[in-house]
Amino acid sequence: MSWVERAREIADRMHPAGLLYSTYEQRLLAELDRDRLPRHVAVLADGNRRWARLNAPGQPYEVGYQAGADKLKHFVEWCDEVGLGVVTLWVLSTENLARNADDVAPLLAVIERLFLDLAATGRWRLKLVGDPTLLPEDMTDALRAAEFDTASVSGLQVNVAIAYGGRHELRDAVRKLLAAQAETGASLAEVAESLEIEDIASHLYTAGDPDPDLIIRTSGEQRLSGFLMWQSAHSEFYFCEALWPDFRRVDFLRALRDYASRERRYGR
């Protein structure tokens, strides 16, 4: 957070309404049951384009993309503050890449800056989740280099889902599985006979990570849109009406409080 943003935040909190909000926020934080927090929170940061249309009419969507990226930085901070282990941010779907090139190019630039900015803090371990072959080569190289630079960082792991699609991921997992089995000389019949659920899970983009306990989606949409289709089998969902750039820390704390109040049955 820049000193300008920090000064603006302090000014907002000194306003009477801001003081009430801050008090409520602190109460929510104090009341959180730390023993019932999720290990892994994933978020569909939806509504950036609609936010731009409402708040910056006539301006390019890049205004909304940047506002959304700034909020994602705050979101990672919030996750770190409460002690979560993994956070997954979905910032670009495979479907998004089918948009007009004039729209996709600035979005990719904002996403690359976001990834590099998060890595540059040196506080979090960054992981690219998605199909980098769908991205420009220079962007992939920059993301992989930043990922490598944070590989030894302990603490919060930040998965950034870029060029990610749930069906795309499952297809890639099966391809990797079959290729690995082929290297051992196994036939398709042998693979089919011995295939287990864990075999597919071990080839997902998120292999080695715990499945998300809580998935948050903003902008009032109540669907997953293919996000973490395999991993979300037993996830809890929290839908928020706010457009992503308007998502507040208090909304995040409410989501955690709601999660902590649920009895997870895991299909049993």
Helix, coil or strand: residue 194: helix
Instruction: Give Cβ neighbours of residue 200 (< 8 Å, ≥ 6 apart).
Output: 170, 173, 174, 177, 230
Tokens (6 digits) for 75: 């979101």
Strand partners, 88: 42, 159
Nearest CA-CA partner of 160 in 224, 117, 99: 117
- Please indicate whether residue 55 is annotated as part of the active site: no
Residue 133: how many CB atoms within 10 A of its CB?
Answer: 9
Selecting among 46, 131, 209, 213, the annotated active-site residue is 46
Expressed in angstroms, the distance from the first to the final Cα of the chain is 44
Selecting among 48, 96, 159, 209, the annotated active-site residue is 96
- Please indicate whether residue 48 is annotated as part of the active site: no
Nearest CA-CA partner of 110 in 145, 73, 76, 137: 73
- Active site positions, annotated: 46, 96
